[in-house]
Amino acid sequence: MVKQEKSSAPKKKLSLNGNSFLLLITVGLFLAMYAAGMVIFADKGFAKPQMFFNLFITNAGLLVISMGLTIVMISGGIDISVGSVTALVCMVVAYSMENMGMSAYVAVVLALGIGLLYGLVQGFLVAYLEIQPFIVTLAGLFFGRGMTAVISKEMISIKNETFLAWANYKIYLPIGSYSKRGKFLPAYIYPTVVIAIVILILIIIIMKFTKFGRSVYAVGGNTQSAMMMGLNVRKIRLKAYILDGLLAGCGGFLFCLNSCAGFVEQAKGLEMDAISSAVIGGTLLSGGVGTPFGTLFGVLIKGTITSLITTQGTLSSWWVRIVLSVLLCFFIVLQSVLGNLKKKK
């Protein structure tokens, strides 16, 4: 890590026009937004540490799903099925435990199994049959949402004790805030946050320190070159989709731990949240560029917008969408302009 800083420090000025520039904007934007929130809504508790951890609690599932999307997008693809997969996972988890009496452990396996299957099928269609990823995952989106309804049209609330114990297990942190009477209120997180963070670190390591991770970048950067340099492009693409599917399954399960229910309309539009998080985090839609670390900030920005708007109180919830898409538009246009400039050079 030290070595990296050393090498990147003198370079920063040179590559300011590049992709690190985008990441810089993202991190800066998050800090600015959060700081502004802390100042403006100090009286509403925005400055409390718990507020910050809530960002992770509410977005643990999204974070994991966005990781998957980041990988697929770096490889040059896209996946719009993740929202449906989440709904399907939640429904299957709820149904298997509540209506079939399975244990929570089996439910975990089921959730990951669904993700794996999705990754395999979609990856095969994209990598080996060379069908446009958007269309393939569009079908995946339809299928997931429809299957959810086939399993149950009614909402299923989860009452499984093991599951609820997982969901409600609070992990207290040594930092916190003081109540008006001066009592120390420790900040807390749920296990979902720990899992999400562990996965985040794992993905960072995979993308930076494994052959597979670097190959994904190579394939997304220039497929032709990657092939010429002896990489098995199809296999790498397939693997990227499998990993993405697994992460979607896992993220879906985390989502479920948060909502403790399965229903048809669940996680609608989550795919767009995940994609915009990745894009805002500096992932290029054309592939080859992006970092899990950047996506983390994309997710945090999305979370901050949501909590700023809810804390403000009078603004309605649709403002989240609008603000988010304005940001998305800004980043997409910026990327395109930077890309066109580069081409001209």
Partner 1 sequence: MNKKEFDMKKLTSMRLFLPIMCLLAMLIVAAITIPGFFKISVTNGVLYGYPIDVINRASELVILAVGMTLVTAASGGQDISVGAIMAVAAAVCCQILSGGEVSVTSLAAPLVLAMLAGIIVAGVCGLFNGVLVSYLNIQPMVATLILFTAGRGIAQLVTKGQITYIRVDSYMVAGGYIGKCPVPTPIFIAAAVVVVAYVILKKTAFGLYVESVGINGNASRLVGLNSRRIKLLTYIICGALAGVAGIVASSRIYSADANNIGLNLEMDAILAVALGGNILSGGKFSLMGSVIGAVTIQTLSTALYAMGVSGDQLPVYKAIAIIIIVVLQSPVFKKYMAGLKTKKAASGAAVEGGNQ
Partner 2 sequence: MEENIVLTMRYISKTFPGVKALQHVDFTLRKGEIHALMGENGAGKSTLIKVLTGVHDFEAGEIKMSGSDASIINRSPQDAQNNGISTVYQEVNLCPNLTVAENLFIGREPKKAGFIDWKTMNKKSAELLQSLDIDAKATDKLEECSLAKQQMIAIARAVDMQCKVLILDEPTSSLDDDEVEKLFVLMRRLRGEGVGIIFVTHFLEQVYAVCDRITVLRNGELVGEYEVKELPRVMLVAKMMGKDFDDLADIKSAHGELKEFVPVIEAEGIGRKGSIKPFDFVVNKGEVVGLTGLLGSGRSELVRAIYGADKPDSGKLKVKGQEVKINTPLDAMKLGMAYLPEDRKKDGIIADLSVRENIIIALQAKKGMFKLMSRREMEEAADKYIELLQIKTASRETPVKSLSGGNQQKVIIGRWLLTNPEYLILDEPTRGIDIGTKTEIQKLVLNLADDGMAVTFISSEVEEMLRTCSRMGVLRDGKKVGEIAGEELTQEGIMKAIAGGEGDE
- Which of 292, 304, 298 has its CA nearest to residue 332? 298
Q: Which does 105 bind (CB under 5 to 8 A by kind): partner 2, partner 1, none?
A: none
| Binding of partner 2 by 3 (CB under 8 A) | yes
Q: CB-wise, 231 or 270, nearer to partner 2?
A: 231
Compare residues 108 and 138 and give the one whose CB is closer to partner 1: 138
Beta partners for residue 157, in sequence order? 261
| One-letter amino acid of 35 | A
Q: Rank residues 91 and 189 by Cβ distance to partner 1 and give the closer one.
A: 91
For the bound state, the minimum distance from the C-beta of residue 276 to partner 2, rounded and expressed in Å, comes to 21
Say how many residues touch partner 2, by CB under 8 A: 31
Rounded CA-CA distance 106/109 in Å is 5
Q: What are phi and psi of 177, to 5 degrees?
A: -130, 170
342 binds, among partner 2, partner 1, none (CB under 5 to 8 A by kind): partner 2
Q: Shortest approach of partner 2 to residue 238 CB, angstroms? A: 18
3-class DSSP state of 316: coil
Q: What is the DSSP string of 115-133?
A: HHHHHHHHHIIIIIS---H
Give the separation between CA 102 and CA 87, rounded to whole angstroms: 19
Closest distance of CB 335 from partner 2, Å: 13
Query: In what helix (H) or strand (E) does residue 105 lie, and over which residues does it extend?
Result: helix 104-123
314 interface partner picked from partner 1, partner 2, none, CB below 5 to 8 A per type: none
Binding site for partner 2 (CB under 8 A): 3-4, 7-8, 11, 14-15, 18, 205, 208-211, 214-215, 217-218, 220-222, 224-231, 288-289, 342
